[in-house]
Structure 1
Amino acid sequence: MYSLTDVNLFLRAAEAGSLSAAARQLNLTPAAASAALKRLEAQLNVRLFERSTRSLRLTPEGEVFAEHGRGALGMLADGEALIGARSRTVSGEVHLSAPTDLARTWLSGWLDDCLGRHPDLRLVLHVSDALHDLTRESVDIALRYGDLQDSSLIARRLTVSEQVACASPDYLARHGTPRHPRELAHHNCLTFYSNHRPRTTWTFQRDGKTHEVRVEGDRRADDSALVHQWALEGAGIIYKSRLDLMDDLQQGHLVPLFPAFRGPEVALNALYPSKRYLPLRTRRVLDDLVECFAN
């Protein structure tokens, strides 16, 4: 049988990228940590790390054992919680990835509520419009718009949001209000891109017909929150999920365009690996997210 202390040391070293850092976390001497790792590798008969003077990197075998080791320790922690005095509480760390605008407009308030319900929980946010590799980057839950592309992930739908084109009152006062999507060709359209793909085709629907418009503008960014800010400053027209723009639309900071047309509806999903054991703390966070977007 493997020593839980040895497995825990291995997992901490994998996360920190340093055996000495893991030893300090567990109050072990460097010699004891090194001996524990050697003992574990001898039991498995594989090398778990590629070592150099400056780095510690998981081998392919190490990545497999790390994934299952996290699940095993998570199951033990859940079992302890279920039979112990803390059966109604959750603790530990959950890594959550989300697009920039969504994190700033929705997750800030939700974070306070979630941690208020689970004071022993720690939430780590990875805020980026880039797609994260949930396994390699140790992300527990990723919030993403659109259909599920990776069959190794499970998607739990949170809500559906319409894409909407809008601009600030200042921009419309200076440049006029377009009445039809084709008039976007005469306006400065603010666009963003993700995974090196620019989003310069905007789609609108009316009376069962789809209108696709190719747009251009004087600026583009890979940070959708920055593009959002440009629109608020009057730099141009933005096309984005109504969910991300809701507060500014309600307060009149942005004005929706083309009321006779509808943008496509896009699902917001919570993604998590299908092959990874889902700890109790992660399941509770998922449930809280579902409740947040249902209200």
Structure 2
Amino acid sequence: MKLENTDDLRVLIHTARTGSLTRAAVALGVTASAASAALKRLESQLNARLFERSTRAMRLTEQGRVMLDYAQRAFDLLDEAEAQVGADQAALVGTVRIAAPSDLARNVLLPWFDDFLALHPGVQLQVHVGDRPKDVVRDEVDIALRYGALADSQLVARTLATPRTVLCAAPAYLARRGTPATPHDLAAHNCLVFMRGDRHHRTWHFSKGGERVDVRVSGDRSVDDASLAHDWARAGHGILLKTGIELQGDLDSGALVPLLAEWETDVYPLHALLPSGRFIPARVRALADFLAQRFTTDPTNSFSPR
């Protein structure tokens, strides 16, 4: 069996990404009927049903998932070949699409991205910033940086750092409201809450000498952008519990003061996620390696209060 038209594979890819044949047609600049005909032609040539169709969405069958993986790999190889033709074969070229949490991007990654681009002037970065996790396949992301436990076994995960969360507040807030002496005291404080994944993180965990304390916190503000919660803490509006990676500069300068240091807090490992089984261009591997090296050796990032 030989596929008659590789553009039919693009219909498969975009339909899988959007969950809609109509949206796939719009993305490809063709009519809905042309996209439908292409998908039917592909299924006929493969003698396989690639999607389960419903009134709400198009869902891949098992055969569809297999074909999607190989189709994506094929187009990645073609994109890499086009980028390399006419270029210095030793140089990295092309675009790397990376998604990162907002505060991590602003407070840690921005100067590192500058350094990476200076080393590889033929590379362009397309950075997606936000605290709602990106889907590496559906959202067309080459690398996703994500905190916490990982549930998706379809991804290759590389651990970059294993920071603990740090409880902290600005000196102005502590002067006004007092300093908590135990985790239980947090119930009487204004605590700044932000979203992790798709829900607000309102229960904070502490442990010491075998004792575990879970505190349900509250406050006058919550947000879906962790960098704004960080800004509120710096401005003296409340107490923040956040991974130390983004806080280190403020902890070192005294803009934020660590609290309850004798109590252990949760560890939130930071991972670089890449799609499993796909061809990974050299430029993507290079950026993943670069970030891993920086998180290991950068002297300004011990990720814990000093």
TM-score by length of 1: 0.79
Q: Which of 244, 247, 252 is the aligned partner of 2:246?
A: 244
1:214 Cα deviation (Å)? 1.6
Determine helix, strand or coil for the equivalent of 1:265.
Answer: coil
Q: Which of 256, 263, 276 is the aligned partner of 2:258?
A: 256
Q: Tell me the residue number matched to 1:124.
A: 126
Asked if residue 172 in structure 1 is aligned to residue 174 in structure 2, the reply is: yes
Q: Tell me the residue number matched to 1:133.
A: 135
Aligned mates of 2:93, 2:7 — CA distance in 1: 22
- Do the aligned partners of 2:13 and 2:71 also contact (CA within 8 Å) in 1? no
Gaps of 5+ in 1: 24-29, 50-56
Aligned mates of 2:94, 2:282 — CA distance in 1: 10
1:117-158 CA deviation, whole Å, 9 max, x = no partner? Answer: 111112111111112222111111111111211111121000
Q: Which of 66, 75, 78 is the aligned partner of 2:77?
A: 75
Q: Tell me the residue number matched to 2:282.
A: 280
1:199-254 CA deviation, whole Å, 9 max, x = no partner? Answer: 11111222233222221111111111111111111110000001111111111111
Q: Tell me the residue number matched to 1:211.
A: 213
- Do the aligned partners of 1:129 and 1:222 also contact (CA within 8 Å) in 2? yes
Determine helix, strand or coil for the equivalent of 1:260.
Answer: coil
Determine helix, strand or coil for the equivalent of 2:268.
Answer: strand
- What is the identity, as a one-letter code, of the residue corresponding to 1:225? S
- What is the identity, as a one-letter code, of the residue corresponding to 2:218? E
Aligned mates of 1:264, 1:18 — CA distance in 2: 42
Determine helix, strand or coil for the equivalent of 2:162.
Answer: strand
Instruction: Describe the shift of the 1:144–1:18 C-alpha distance in structure 2 as closer, same or farther (beyond 3 A).
Output: closer
Determine helix, strand or coil for the equivalent of 1:211.
Answer: strand
Aligned mates of 2:190, 2:158 — CA distance in 1: 36
1:251-290 CA deviation, whole Å, 9 max, x = no partner? Answer: 1111110122221222111111213221222111111111
1:4 Cα deviation (Å)? 9.2
Q: Tell me the residue number matched to 2:232.
A: 230
Q: Which of 103, 112, 128 is the aligned partner of 1:101?
A: 103
Instruction: Describe the shift of the 1:101–1:65 C-alpha distance in structure 2 as closer, same or farther (beyond 3 A).
Output: same
1:10 Cα deviation (Å)? 6.3
- Do the aligned partners of 1:205 and 1:263 also contact (CA within 8 Å) in 2? yes
1:76-99 CA deviation, whole Å, 9 max, x = no partner? Answer: 555688898622212222211111
Instruction: Describe the shift of the 1:108–1:276 C-alpha distance in structure 2 as closer, same or farther (beyond 3 A).
Output: same
Q: Which of 101, 110, 113 is the aligned partner of 1:111?
A: 113
Instruction: Describe the shift of the 1:78–1:3 C-alpha distance in structure 2 as closer, same or farther (beyond 3 A).
Output: farther
- Do the aligned partners of 1:48 and 1:58 also contact (CA within 8 Å) in 2? no
Determine helix, strand or coil for the equivalent of 1:161.
Answer: coil
In the TM superposition, structure 1's runs of 4+ consecutive aligned residues that sit over 4 Å from their partners are 1-23, 37-44, 46-49, 57-67, 76-85
- What is the identity, as a one-letter code, of the residue corresponding to 1:204? F
Aligned mates of 2:84, 2:162 — CA distance in 1: 35
- What is the identity, as a one-letter code, of the residue corresponding to 1:131? P
Aligned mates of 2:58, 2:119 — CA distance in 1: 36
- Do the aligned partners of 1:114 and 1:285 also contact (CA within 8 Å) in 2? yes
- Do the aligned partners of 1:190 and 1:238 also contact (CA within 8 Å) in 2? yes
Asked if residue 185 in structure 1 is aligned to residue 187 in structure 2, the reply is: yes
- What is the identity, as a one-letter code, of the residue corresponding to 1:187? H
Aligned mates of 2:121, 2:176 — CA distance in 1: 50
Q: How many residue pairs were aligned? A: 280
Task: Decide which moves more: 233-242 or 176-185.
Answer: 176-185
- Do the aligned partners of 2:97 and 2:125 also contact (CA within 8 Å) in 1? yes
1:173 Cα deviation (Å)? 0.9
Aligned mates of 1:150, 1:288 — CA distance in 2: 24
Determine helix, strand or coil for the equivalent of 1:216.
Answer: coil
Aligned mates of 2:115, 2:5 — CA distance in 1: 34
